[in-house]
Structure formats: structure tokens, C-alpha cells
Amino acid sequence: MKLSLHTNTLSSALLALALAGTAPAPAAAATPAAHSKAKAKKAKPAKAVPAKKTDYEGEFVNFGQWKEVGQFLDEMAAKHGFDRKELEATMMQVRYVDSAVQLMKPAPPGKPKNWQAYSKLFIEPVRINGGVKFWNENREALARAEALYGVPAEIIVGIIGVETVYGSNTGRFRVMDALTTLAFAYPLAPAREARMAFFKGELESTLLYARQAGIDPFSLLGSYAGAVGLPQFMPSNIMKYAVDFDGNGRVDLRNSPTDAIGSVAAFLVAHGWRRDDPGPLVYAATVSPSRQWERFINQGLEAKFRPQDLMSAGVVTTSTLPEGMNFGLVDLQNGSEPTEFWLGSNNFFSITQYNRSYFYAMSVLELGRAIKLSRRDL
């Protein structure tokens, strides 16, 4: 299982730290600013919400003078019709963010991967109680998304809870700063060139999205990797998968829980979610001492193995598996404790396309399940 940088998520930092055995406790939830109420006699416009401060000062390095940046600006002007001088003026406002570079460096060797330790970061009272509140406040949008896309409410709520604690922690990096820094000053690491190309593509999408939405690109705040809003979509995914689910004529993943809900569901469907898949997303399994099953480990994030082939290699489940479905073998390492094994369905692996991690997908399932049970107990 590898941590991919091609994610939507603010939770990637926690994931990297948790896998190294050094994860901090999750941040406490904060209450979003409410809309101002109109007075009876004379309605007043909603109060402007002060812009959040960033978590860094940033350093001016004159990105516009860098040869690679100049080539990028030339491409943006030729390919998308941007004014070259306006782009130069935009780059003059960009700041180098060393903290983003440091967070992208490979984690130092640490403790073994530990699912139980990782899951405690996300299956905890703040996220469970916040999830109950978020579900109750957005029940109509969640029901509509489930009906339209076939994605259960607990999966959508689980993702938003893991990502940003329902919008209370969406990130405080200027997306333009983070993406420019990572596109042109990525730290020395394996596949550095490919990762720089990825972030350059995200910078391109940021400029296109800002132009299309009619917003200042510097108004976009997000994670150290450039992910935006309640569901932590990368800019390219906003362009491809975000939907105007509240019907107000614009997509707003930063301030509209309804748009976030619809967009999460749309993303999962675009990445293979099937409404007609029966049964649970995962089935508990055990493996034989023969270790023939090891050939099914780390074979890609997809359900592509027939149950009979898994069983013949020593994978056993006490549950009756649905007919006609394939599965993938999921290993959740627990440090010095025994590894947990599960059979993941197609829909389980669609969640791993949101963040390419078994730990992440299982956290979404467990958090969603805990929230659903808590709502029943009320």
C-alpha cells in the first residue's frame, strides 16, 4: 500500500504521519460562520466573512523569473488564451512555501504501519458527533445524492468527516502558493519529475477554474497539497467531477455542503461505484499458513479476483459472498499485532481512488458506520 500524492485530501498529512507511527491527534471541530439574519423592517446584506490567515508567511522568490515558470506561462497563454503579462503579474504575488516542501518529503523510517492506531485518529467522538449533526442538517441532500448516484449517505458523510471534519479544517494554504511551490520546487524524492508535472497540471487547473468561476485564484485556500473545500478536491477534480447540487448556478465546495455532498457521490460513480453491488463493501477474512495467498497482495486498487481463486490460495471468509462478484485481498497491518485481512468489493476500491490507501477507505467505512449507529441511538 503506497501513499499517493494524487489525492483530494487534507488527511494525507495525517496518513503519512500515522504510517510512520508519529501521527498527531486530530484537530477539534470548529463551527462554520452562519449567514447573517435579515431584520424584519430592513434587510441587511450578509456580513462578509474575514479572509482566513495562512499558516505561513511565505517567501518571495520571483517565480516569474524562473525559466520553467516562464515556459509554463507561455503554454498557458498559447493553450488557453491567458494574457501573458497578466500571468506575470499573478506570479509576482505567489510566495514560496517551505512548509509544503517539507511536508512532501518522504517520512523517515518509523514504527510499522498500524491500522488500529491510524483508525483512532478518525473513528473518535469529535468526528462521530459532528457527523451526526452534519447528517441531520443535510439529510435531504444526502437522500437525494443516494437516490441519484446510488452512494449511501454514510459513505459520503464518512469521506467528508475524514477529510475535513465536516468543513472545520479545510486547510490554510493559499492554493496558488502551494501548487506553484510544488510544481517548480518539489523536494528531491523518487518520481520527482512526475510529481512536479502533476502539480503543474493542478496549477493549470487552478487558473482555469478561477477564470471560469470568476474568482481571484488567491482567494482559494486549501491543504498543503492544494486540495480545496469540504471534500478536499484537487483543482482538476473540481473541474471534472464537482457538481452544482444545490442548483444555484455555481459550484462551491468551500461553502456549500450540498455541492460537496453531490460532488463526492459524483466522484465515486466516476471512479467505479456501482449502485447495484449487493452486500457489504468488505468481508472479514483469514489466511492459511501456506502463504499462497500472498500473490494477491498489492495487485492494484481494484476488485479483480474470483472468490474461488482466492479460496484455493487459502483465503477464508465465514460470510457468504455474493455471486458474480470479484474481490481484492486487503491487508491492514497492525504493527507487532496480527495483520487484519478483508475481501474488498468493487465499491470499496472506488473509495481508494479518492485516496489511494486501504487505511483511508476502511476509516471512511468505519466512521460512516459509527455515525449511522449513533443516529439510530438518538
Q: Which residues are catalytic?
A: 163
Buried b (16+ CB within 10 A) or exposed e, 350-375: bbbbbbbbbbbbbbbbebbebbbeeb
Q: Quick one: cell of 118?
A: 491510524
Burial of 182 (0-12, 13-18, 19+ CB in 10 A): buried
Cα–Cα distance between 43 and 66 in angstroms, integer?
Answer: 51
Q: Quick one: cell of 372?
A: 449511522
Cα–Cα distance between 63 and 96 in angstroms, integer?
Answer: 8
- Find residue 174's DSSP bridge partners: 221
Residue 194: C-alpha distances to residues 201, 204, 240, 331 (Å): 11, 15, 21, 28
Cα–Cα distance between 13 and 244 in angstroms, integer?
Answer: 29
C-alpha triplet 244, 45, 256: angle, nearest 5°: 20
Contacting residues for 221 by C-beta, under 8 A, at least 6 apart: 52, 54, 170, 171, 172, 173, 174, 175, 228
Torsion of CA 369, 371, 373, 378, to 10 degrees: -170
Which residue type does 137 have?
E
**Cβ atoms within 10 Å of 52's Cβ, excluding its own:** 11
How far is C-alpha 26 from the chain's CA centre? 16
Cα–Cα distance between 352 and 301 in angstroms, integer?
Answer: 7
**Cβ atoms within 10 Å of 13's Cβ, excluding its own:** 17
Cα–Cα distance between 98 and 376 in angstroms, integer?
Answer: 46
Instruction: From 199, 196, 218, select the one nearest 58 (Cα to Cα).
Output: 218
Q: Is 174 helix (H, G, I), strand (E, B) or coil?
A: strand
